[in-house]
Amino acid sequence: MLALIALGLGYLFDQVILFLFIFSFLVLAWFTANIIRLHNWLWIRKTLYPPQSKGIWRGIFDGIYRIQKKNRSRRKELGGILKRFRDGAESIPDAVVVMQSHGQIAWSNKLAQHMLGVRWPEDAGVRIDNLIRYPRFTQAFEKNDFDEPLLIPAPNNPNRVIEIRVVPYSYHEYMLLGRDVTQLQQLDQMRKDFIANVSHELRTPLTVLQGYLEMMQDPDMQGFTSPKTLTTMGHQCDRMMNLVNQLLTLSRIEANNDNVYEVKVNVPQMLGMIEKEMEQLNFDRGHQLTFDIDADLVVYGLEDELRSAFTNLIKNAIRYTPDKGEIHVCWQRTSGGAHFLVQDNGEGIAPQHLTRLTERFYRVDKARSRDTGGSGLGLSIVKHVLNHHKSQLIVESQQEQGSCFSFTLPTDMVVK
């Protein structure tokens, strides 16, 4: 339209070229001015809103503005999705490493940095087999064979076991998931050891009984059953019975969730009864047993459990103290609560055994413990009982001098 007007004016004033030149110049100037505004807007001001313009340039500015706006909201949306993904991956209780086709690290969460020693972002692009240098992992990585989870020692702490799984999650992208299974492994090992120990403990007396029974079935031996044979068989049965009883006590205590504050336990009376039982037990050993008991010191607790703990500790003192030894039992109020102590002047325990005494079936001298009728579970039971009663066992001992086993029930468990 403007070109036609310029042409018209050119004809009117007989200056067509001049008018067309002025028109072209003005159009070029307008275009140049708008291109400069566009450039300034996109590269210098970088704002969302476009400069004001007219005509075709308004359409161009508005179009770019709309595309930019759409891109911005898409970017925001994508940023939100990425943040949610990362937050989610951070809250997974596993180590997560996102890898590209050749195992180059694309991203890792904090747990991976802690568990697998990945440094982020320094290790971005580094191949994972450069960080986890463990033959079985490298082999599986090379063959791309991750059907089964792999158990490997943690790269920065060989005492911890990490279960590794690698899952493909999009085209040529993989996610490595690592979980610390040290505790599960230990529990599994404990379960295996426990079954092996119980079987072993039961097999020995059963073998003895089996031997005697076979001997009795032998026609040549008929009528030769001596009282000594029967006594030995009786001892072996007692041993098995003691072991089974201790196992039952231990499993009952482990499963017990009763509230220790609900029942008052008259410990002085209980210790009085235990004293009488122990005197009978000690009858032919000639120990000098002294009980120093605060008759008013009653506590809250679980009666059966406390009886089991006291009995085990006092029986041990009798067992591991040579005949005519001295055993002192004390139950007294202290500033820390109710204090129980059993002291003997027996064989004592070497320092290297002290920390392991409360493990199930741990004995300093296996043969000696079996001879004296021990099951190897006594101190383990004591430990569990004391855990229930907010206390712990303290063992002080010197070889050939004697031992002192003690614990204190806290003041809030003492009945005022």
320 binds ligand ADP (CB under 6 A): yes
| Options 311, 375, 391, 408; binder of ligand ADP; rule CB under 6 A | 375
We find the least distance from the C-beta atom of residue 231 to ligand ADP, in angstroms, to be 21
Determine, following the binding rule CB under 6 A, whether residue 178 of this chain makes contact with ligand ADP: no
331 binds ligand ADP (CB under 6 A): no
Taking the complex as a whole, the smallest distance from the CB of residue 145 to ligand ADP amounts, in Å, to 47
Only segment of 97-105, 256-264, 288-296, 369-377 that touches ligand ADP (CB under 6 A) = 369-377
Nearer to ligand ADP, 375 or 391 (CB): 375
> In this structure, are strands 402-410 and 337-344 parallel, antiparallel, or unpaired?
antiparallel
**What is the residue-wise DSSP string for 264-326?**
EE-HHHHHHHHHHHHHHHTTTT--EEEEEE-TT--EES-HHHHHHHHHHHHHHHHHTS-TT-E
- The yes or no reply on residue 403 touching ligand ADP (CB under 6 A) is yes
Q: Give the integer Cα–Cα distance in Å for 123 and 177.
A: 17
Rule CB under 6 A: say whether 379 interacts with ligand ADP.
Answer: yes
Contact 377, 247 (CB under 8 A): yes
Can residue 247 be called a binding residue for ligand ADP (CB under 6 A)? no
| Cα separation, 344 vs 354, whole angstroms | 16
Please name which of 28, 17, 20 lies closest in space to residue 4, comparing C-alpha atoms.
Answer: 20
Alpha carbons within 13 angstroms on the beta-carbon side of residue 327 total 28
Distances (CA, A) of 311 to 209, 319, 329: 29, 12, 11
Among 105, 239, 376, 383, binds ligand ADP (CB under 6 A): 376
Quick check: 162 and 181 in contact, CB under 8 A?
yes
Closest to ligand ADP by CB, 84 or 368: 368
Task: Name the minimum Å distance from CB 235 to ligand ADP.
Answer: 15
Q: How far is the CB of 353 from ligand ADP (least distance, A)?
A: 7
161 in helix, strand or coil?
strand
Radius of gyration of the chain (CA): 42
Cβ nearer to ligand ADP, comparing 109 with 311: 311
Q: Does 282 bind ligand ADP (CB under 6 A)?
A: no
User: What residues between 91 and 110 interact with ligand ADP by CB under 6 A?
Assistant: none
- Applying CB under 6 A, which residues contact ligand ADP? 312, 316-317, 320, 344, 346-347, 349, 357, 362-365, 369, 374-380, 403
